[in-house]
Amino acid sequence: MRFHPSSLIRHQYRFEKNFFQYVNEFRVEQAKKLLKETNSKLSILGIAYESGFNSKTSFNTTFKKLTGQTLPSSGNKSGFIKFYFLRF
């Protein structure tokens, strides 16, 4: 993502979000896409790194804050996919 600093400030006041909130929302959306990929061999930690998070802790905290869902601690995403994505 590339933004000019003045446009970031303008958007921050317009949408009441700061740059880091935008980045984290983007990262969580990317992680959700990766979680849906059933043929992916990535673990939860791998998905966190691929989405731009630096640690599993920051990923889990941000994911829960934005989605209200807790990720599995085992690193296996298959049970999470069934619970989270197939219930809608």
* Domain locations along the chain: 5-84
Ranges of H-type helices in the chain: 5-15, 19-36, 44-50, 56-67, 78-84
Per the CATH hierarchy, to which homologous superfamily does domain 5-84 belong?
Homeodomain-like (1.10.10.60)
Predicted local confidence at residue 19, as pLDDT:
82
User: With a threshold of 0.85, does the pTM exceed it?
Assistant: no
Q: Which tokens sit at 5?
A: 């600093």
Residues 52, 48: Cα–Cα separation, whole Å: 7
Cα 8 from chain centroid?
A: 21
Predicted local confidence at residue 42, as pLDDT:
84
Predicted local confidence at residue 70, as pLDDT:
85
Helix (H, G, I), strand (E, B) or coil at 16: coil
Most distant CA pair in the chain: distance in Å? 43
Please list, in sequence order, all residues whose beta carbon lies within 8 angstroms of the beta carbon of residue 60, skipping any fewer than 6 positions away.
Answer: 48, 70, 71
Which of the residues in the chain have pLDDT under 70? Answer: 1-15, 38, 73-88
Predicted local confidence at residue 88, as pLDDT:
43
